[in-house]
Chain A
Amino acid sequence: KQEVTQIPAALSVPEGENLVLNCSFTDSAIYNLQWFRQDPGKGLTSLLLIQSSQREQTSGRLNASLDKSSGRSTLYIAASQPGDSATYLCAVLNYGGATNKLIFGTGTLLAVQP
């Protein structure tokens, strides 16, 4: 059974710092991994999607890496801003079969202090 863990559960940093969020998964047979952002009272916004054959994806100040063999992904946020404050969730899609469900981690609550 796939299990997804995110560390840390919460993080507070001053504005301008670079930071790394971690995601680990127990079953390496994944199709892809996605990072989402969730603002309070809102739905999820997809940030980056990494296919299993890829090593990383970049979008603006965000860079996500994937090491499938070790079951790890990181989300790097450069030059953090108060507007980056949100909960960040990673989710994996297991490969094969009829399962089409994303398996989510419990998230990292990020607070960027001005």
Chain B
Amino acid sequence: GAGVSQSPSNKVTEKGKDVELRCDPISGHTALYWYRQSLGQGLEFLIYFQGNSAPDKSGLPSDRFSAERTGGSVSTLTIQRTQQEDSAVYLCASSPYRAEETQYFGPGTRLLVL
């Protein structure tokens, strides 16, 4: 079946603009995660959604970052007033139910803030 998909695959924006990144998880997966992979920083957790529960936002680096998940499926990560340090690959993953299960990753969105 289809895997996790993300769009756009690449995004170039100017400093100060807002961007939206989209993630379509595997159908039926109730858990959804966003991670960020920065050069020299490795992969870091941003936010976790599980069903209708309140999301775990503990990894969001600032209040310029927000995410929502509509209808328990598609998720959008929004970065407001982008800064150059926001340049990174943003990865989305989903798992069937719990975080203890294997997480399946999408190809990522490469964001470059000029």
Task: Using CB atoms and an 8 Å cutoff, list the residues of chain A in contact with chain B.
Answer: 31-32, 34, 36, 41-46, 49, 89, 91, 93, 98-107
Interface of chain B, main secondary structure: strand
Give B contacts to A, CB under 8 Å. 4, 31, 33, 35, 42-45, 48, 50, 56, 58-59, 91, 93, 98-100, 102-108, 110
Q: Are B56 and A45 in contact (CB under 8 A)?
A: no
Cβ–Cβ < 8 Å partners of A102 in chain B: 33, 35, 43, 45, 99, 103
B33: A residues at CB distance < 8 A: 100-102
Minimum distance in angstroms from A33 CB to a CB of chain B: 11
Name A93's contact: one of B43, B100, B108, B110 (CB within 8 Å).
B100
A99-B91 contact, Cβ under 8 Å, with A43-B107, A45-B105, A93-B99: no
CB <8 Å contact, B42 and A101: no
Across chains A and B, which 8 residue pairs bring their CB atoms closest together, nearest first? A101-B45, A100-B99, A104-B43, A43-B105, A44-B105, A43-B107, A106-B42, A100-B48
